[in-house]
Chain A
Amino acid sequence: MLTIEGVSKRFGSFMAVNDISFDVRAGEILALVGESGSGKTTVGRIIAGLEEKSSGSIALKGESLPNRYGKTEFRIWGKRIQMIFQNPLGALNPFFSSADVLAEALRFSGKKVTDVAIDHWLAEVGLQSFHRHRLPHQLSGGQRQRLVIARALCMEPDLIVCDEPVSALDVSIQAQILALLKRLRDEKGVSLLFITHDLNVVRQIADRVLVMNRGVRVELADTATVFENPSHDYTRQLLEACPVPEYQAKQQETSA
């Protein structure tokens, strides 16, 4: 559905992304994992048109994406590829109520703005009608992230790029948002590019996993394969470093 071929991004003399190729299939959740500085966020931003690529090509359903985005390009492609960020408070206009946020998105994507439509999209993400008049600061962290998801979703995009969408949330809220994203994928068939450093979350939600290190693709495989049978040392190191909620007598060993 989305094909990325030989994409690179250079910041001055620094190669943030170095000749990356992969595809995102229709209705799949592809996780993009790596440490800070691995280039994973840059890849997401390039796909969403927030960053120019230095070379390579990207195509959505066979149509080539522009390299440089202006107003016209965003009008065409913005509704087909949406992005969700880590910090929902920063992604919402503090003076826009939930209804305003959704109305703007509906208008932008050429849809009719009606009370019914707004209530419908609020309900899709588990918010209620009375939330429509709330401003961002009157919503909890989880509710804000739900609203951001509704905004992305109501444009009925082909792909949503999610950059660490649950990292800033409490564990219990995190579980709710993960369940929501998964359900929406199942029901709407939207593809998700899920960018994160949290491998515990990836195991939960992803169909396939792309591991990046220093701007380079390390491996791309089914989630089960990457976790049970990683083919690279780097992937193994990442897994090793990931804290799991199972008690080991580790500290006794070190302090004894």
Chain B
Amino acid sequence: MNHLLEIRNLQVELKTELGPVYPVQGADLIVRRGETLCLVGESGCGKSLTMMSVMGLLPPGSRIQADRFHLEGETLLTLDEHAYRKLRGPVIGMIFQDAMAAFNPVLRIGDQLAEPLRVHKGFSRKAAWVRAVEWLDRVGIVEPEKRARFYPHEFSGGMLQRAMIAMALITEPDLVIADEPTTALDVSVQAEILDLLRSLLSERQAGLVMITHDLGVVAEMADRVTVMYAGRTIEEASGAEFFARLSHPYSRGLMACTPNWRAGAVPVTPIPGLPPALTAVQTGCAFRFRCAEAMVICAEKPEITEVAAGHRVACWLNRKPDVLAAAVRGVDEEGAMDVDD
């Protein structure tokens, strides 16, 4: 029951020049020690912002609310910037998509790896450098002593991505958040990087959250899968259960538009339309406008409910007939449907 990270019903409100937006409207997720959670969805579905709020990196003036927002049993909601500084690095590590942008171009790679050790763990300059070289070696960079003296522009894309993994893991964090860590890389390098991440984390029983829209990567990495749409968690399950029984029409839609060479020349089917702009809190199921299976009841918000052990879905199609019948009756009694579009 002691989850590394537990988020229940997270809501985020951001202030923009054009008024408030609500990019996260009910995110649910759980990360256990030693597990990899893949957070899936299209751009603009609130995946990155959910994890940004865990890291305390939301823009100033943002408001967050949640039923539970706990890291190792302690709430994150009350932390101030000072407390967060002690968390980022030693407790939460981050790996970003664009490795080139994540490094300071005028500092040597070794110094940048060593910095968190000196800041957070009180290492001497020399000891931190030695550890940095060790980690470059562990992430598979050849001639690490020499390469530690290189500047970021002297590294290839794959090497930089490895160095960034080393930088995120060097303080031995309990939770690692990786935002599209391999999309910029070649397939063969991608496979190596994923293997590397997996072995480094399972070694230390740390938790990994991987943000991605590539179901191929999900199939390879995920112990658990959480799918978000329009800022809300709409399906969560173990990796095996998820792929065996895609239960939300949106999850099925994502699968149908993901090409798979092993399946032969089966044409992919795009999901029509785009995710909604989150300038208001959604009423009803936000996916109903793009959903081929939408029903009248979908104008009511479906609660996320368990359909099998550990498999939760927010969709009326997955409700038991009696629940559905009762809900439909409720809608009928109200009379008119308040469908917005």
- A243-B220, A251-B223 known; A172+B261 contact, CB < 8 A: no
Report the minimal beta-carbon distance from B308 to chain A, rounded to whole angstroms: 15
Interface contact A255-B34, CB-CB below 8 Å: yes
Within 8 Å by CB of B255, from A179, A245, A251, lies: A245
Interface contact B267-A179, CB-CB below 8 Å: yes
Interface contact B218-A245, CB-CB below 8 Å: yes
Report the minimal beta-carbon distance from A206 to chain B, rounded to whole angstroms: 9
Interface contact A198-B187, CB-CB below 8 Å: yes
Within 8 Å by CB of A244, from B222, B242, B262, lies: B262
A128 at interface, CB cutoff 8 A: no
Pick out which of these stretches binds chain A: B103-111, B116-124, B128-136, B269-277. B269-277
Report the minimal beta-carbon distance from A56 to chain B, rounded to whole angstroms: 26
Report the minimal beta-carbon distance from B47 to chain A, rounded to whole angstroms: 12
Interface contact B260-A245, CB-CB below 8 Å: yes
Please name the residue on chain B nearest to A243 by beta carbon.
Answer: B216
Interface contact A203-B257, CB-CB below 8 Å: no
Interface contact A245-B258, CB-CB below 8 Å: yes
A68-B232 Cα distance, complex, nearest whole Å:
55
Give chain B residues whose Cβ lies under 8 Å from the Cβ of A255: 34, 198, 202
Within 8 A of A (CB), among B197-245: 198-199, 202, 213-223, 239-240, 242-244
Interface contact B244-A175, CB-CB below 8 Å: no
B186 at interface, CB cutoff 8 A: yes
B172 at interface, CB cutoff 8 A: no
Report the minimal beta-carbon distance from B207 to chain A, rounded to whole angstroms: 13
Interface contact B43-A170, CB-CB below 8 Å: yes
Give chain A residues whose Cβ lies under 8 Å from the Cβ of B223: 251
Interface contact B254-A172, CB-CB below 8 Å: yes
Chain A residues with a Cβ closer than 8 Å to the other chain, count: 40
A172-B294 Cα distance, complex, nearest whole Å:
19
Give chain A residues whose Cβ lies under 8 Å from the Cβ of B253: 172
Within 8 Å by CB of B188, from A141, A204, A238, lies: A238
A224 at interface, CB cutoff 8 A: yes
Interface contact B262-A247, CB-CB below 8 Å: no
Within 8 Å by CB of B261, from A170, A178, A242, A247, lies: A242
B137 at interface, CB cutoff 8 A: no
- A171-B213, A238-B187 known; A203+B198 contact, CB < 8 A: no
Within 8 Å by CB of A200, from B198, B240, B260, B267, lies: B260
Which residues in A have some Cβ–Cβ distance to B below 8 Å? 35-36, 140-141, 170-176, 178-179, 197-204, 223-224, 227, 237-239, 241-251, 254-255
A238-B186 Cα distance, complex, nearest whole Å:
10
Give chain B residues whose Cβ lies under 8 Å from the Cβ of A242: 187, 216, 261
Interface contact B198-A171, CB-CB below 8 Å: no
A199-B260 Cα distance, complex, nearest whole Å:
8
Interface contact A175-B265, CB-CB below 8 Å: no
Within 8 Å by CB of A203, from B34, B186, B259, B271, lies: B259
- A174-B257, A199-B187, A238-B188 known; A224+B219 contact, CB < 8 A: no
Interface contact B270-A251, CB-CB below 8 Å: no
Report the minimal beta-carbon distance from B266 to chain A, rounded to whole angstroms: 8
Please name the residue on chain A nearest to B157 by beta carbon.
Answer: A36
- A171-B42, A241-B191 known; A179+B259 contact, CB < 8 A: no
Please name the residue on chain A nearest to B243 by beta carbon.
Answer: A247
A242-B263 Cα distance, complex, nearest whole Å:
13
Interface contact A246-B198, CB-CB below 8 Å: no
Within 8 Å by CB of B199, from A36, A175, A241, A254, lies: A254
- A238-B188, A242-B216, A243-B190 known; A251+B262 contact, CB < 8 A: no
Give chain B residues whose Cβ lies under 8 Å from the Cβ of A249: 240
A174-B274 Cα distance, complex, nearest whole Å:
12
Interface contact B186-A197, CB-CB below 8 Å: yes
Within 8 Å by CB of A247, from B198, B199, B219, lies: B219
A76-B14 Cα distance, complex, nearest whole Å:
52
